[in-house]
Amino acid sequence: MIPSLGALLDQPAQYFHWTHWIGAQLGAIHAVQETRLLDHLGQEPCSAQDIAASAGLQEDGTRRLLEFLAAEGVLAVDEGGLFAPTDRSRLLQRIGGVNWLAGACAMSALHTGAMLADGEGRNAWTLARGQPLFEGLAENPDWVRQFAEAMGFHTEAEQPRIFAAHRFEPFDLAVDVGGSHGDLMMRLLADHPKARGIVFDRPEAAEQAHEAIAAAGMADRMEAVGGDFFAEVPAGGDLYMMKHIIHDWSDAESIAIFKTIRAAMKPRSRLAVFERIVPADYRPDIAYAFDIIMLHNTTGRERRVADFERLFADSGLRLDRVTDVPGGVSVIEAVPV
């Protein structure tokens, strides 16, 4: 369990250490991502000097960073001070999109005060980079790739819990709105071998999804479609899904998205929204932390069940059921009215 800020403040020395420790951890993650440092470790133990030379980095700082990663249990180090990769370091290499997003969100966090004082109502991401997140994604294919990698890793981590806790009504065609590279759809179709799926996302994301679907050998059951979910989504689906999409958008924008989906639904279609639900009380919960991340980086927010009921009602939908999934996400299903 990640300690709450209140619990840390009850132990001032721990609070002091934590504020510095988290900075060191984020700095290490950012450095690994920016320099590709771990790519320069061989299969056999090697010295910091050799690693720094291979990566084109200065030796002293590289050695100290490698020592920190070893102390954090990411790298192995032998008695001679030689460093070697581990399963953890290989995972850190593999999840580059997560590391990129962590660094990007950290940069936004440092603009929280400026955001609160901004008379134009701009969020921290915009103040840090000069343009909103989704405008940047539309212009930068590398951002799209890394953002999709981060979301794919998140989906991979959540999928086992989601599918263990929630049972979907039978369907022939599912549409994942904002489905990125199609990871969630592939997992869903594995449980429904006679069904088909459409992954719908921005054109630049759909192009990458098309490649991922082909690489997974799923092109006979899945397709990727590009478009704008404020304008139109594929019609005729039995099941529509949105995973961690609505929390990116304001209430007015969310209603507009839901209305677009409602227009595409059949009378017996269902909409499954995967989001964190903010507790009705104020107990420590990861949803509150993600609400601040949304405040920094988007126009959206994390919401309570009553908020979803209201958004659905304003969109021609009705809340039907909520499945709480261990680990923080819930499956919120709505039906047409």
Of 16-25, 152-161, 175-184, the poorest mean pLDDT is in 152-161
- Catalytic residue, from 166, 244, 247, 296: name it: 247
Q: What's the whole-number average pLDDT of the chain?
A: 95
Q: Which pLDDT score, from 0 to 100, does residue 3 have?
A: 86
In whole angstroms, what is the distance from residue 287 CA to residue 277 CA?
Answer: 6
In the predicted model, what is the mean pLDDT of residues 34-57?
A: 95
pLDDT above 90 for 138: no
Q: Is 266 helix (H, G, I), strand (E, B) or coil?
A: coil
Q: Which pLDDT score, from 0 to 100, does residue 106 have?
A: 92
Say whether 40 is catalytic.
no
- Assign 152 a pLDDT band (cuts: 50, 70, 90): confident
In whole angstroms, what is the distance from residue 274 CA to residue 330 CA?
Answer: 6
Which residue do the tokens 């995972």 mark? 91
* Cβ pair 155, 134 in contact under 8 A: no
In whole angstroms, what is the distance from residue 67 CA to residue 83 CA?
Answer: 9
- Assign 215 a pLDDT band (cuts: 50, 70, 90): very high
In whole angstroms, what is the distance from residue 68 CA to residue 66 CA?
Answer: 5
pLDDT in tens, 229-270: 999 999 999 999 999 999 999 999 999 999 999 999 999 999
DSSP state of 145: H
HSE of 153 in the Cβ direction (CA atoms, 13 Å)?
Answer: 17
**CATH numbers and ranges of domains, the chain:** 5-94 (1.10.10.10), 143-336 (3.40.50.150)
Q: Is 268 helix (H, G, I), strand (E, B) or coil?
A: coil
